[in-house]
Structure 1
């Protein structure tokens, strides 16, 4: 007598497979890719640990939420164009004793963005202005705010090119869009004649709506010279300083300190050791 070893799937198993496939299909249609990928392991864990349907659903959706937040963060970081990996936690306060730690921590909460407060970082080169500006930008990105970092020279060049190409309004909308706009290195390079107008219009569009962080090596009294137009400089400062935090940094350049430290270490390493004659 021949025994038939072929097993026929039970209706209950067929129903479970069909339901699983439908669930995967629903997740795919809704573009919940992370949840769809995690579904087998979540179902296995739910069965092993006897989760309720509510627990399983919460866990599955939590996976999708985490993946969505990670994608959004990556997108904000790409848009921000952060020039360095600087963070507020990595700032060397010992090298900048005049910087108020409590104030920097408060700015790091991004509460100033809710009131459209501006931040001006003023001081000589190498005192940490760009580090703090990038750190504030990074904190804003991680807090969920749309952020963009540029230099004063690049902003002026982009606005000039947009004006020539008939895209001035589009360019202005771009710089008006981010919740936080960081303008680095104002005063470091000579600006063309039309730069004052471009900077003023960007500041005017954002006035009392969104925040600007500016780093500069020139005092506010010198901005007329920097922009080549004292009237425009005064009008721009009037808007920037109306609601602002001004930090003045001083001290030696950290780049020069690092250079001197490396030079000293090299001299120490290459100095021959004298033997005492017996």
Structure 2
């Protein structure tokens, strides 16, 4: 699984592969199925025809290669105006369900709103000094050291 970039490119194996701009949105996760000779990029959601295949490219040799079909860029913003996407895929919220206790502990930890509600215990630093057997840097000598 890899995220789609704003330029409709997906990084895989040190190379970039294009997907159609009209079928994806930035940061959408795409499943990569690769063989020695091909890279197939699949959506995680069925399209109107019940298919998931977005693009198929020959596998790049080496690193830093861009495997791009120019037609995939149709629908990308041209830089005029404030538009950020022109795809047919509606922009969906990042989280389809509220992240809380019912979603599990990991999603709840990752949810920024949940993290702001965490109560943190407060205690003096001397507690940690006792636990570690150290003492703070002070100019006062204890009774043990003065003898």
- Relative to total residues, which structure has the larger strand share, 1 or 2? 2
TM-score (norm 1): 0.17
Larger Rg: 1
Q: Does 1 or 2 have the higher relative contact order (CA < 8 Å, sep 6+)?
A: 1
TM-score (norm 2): 0.26
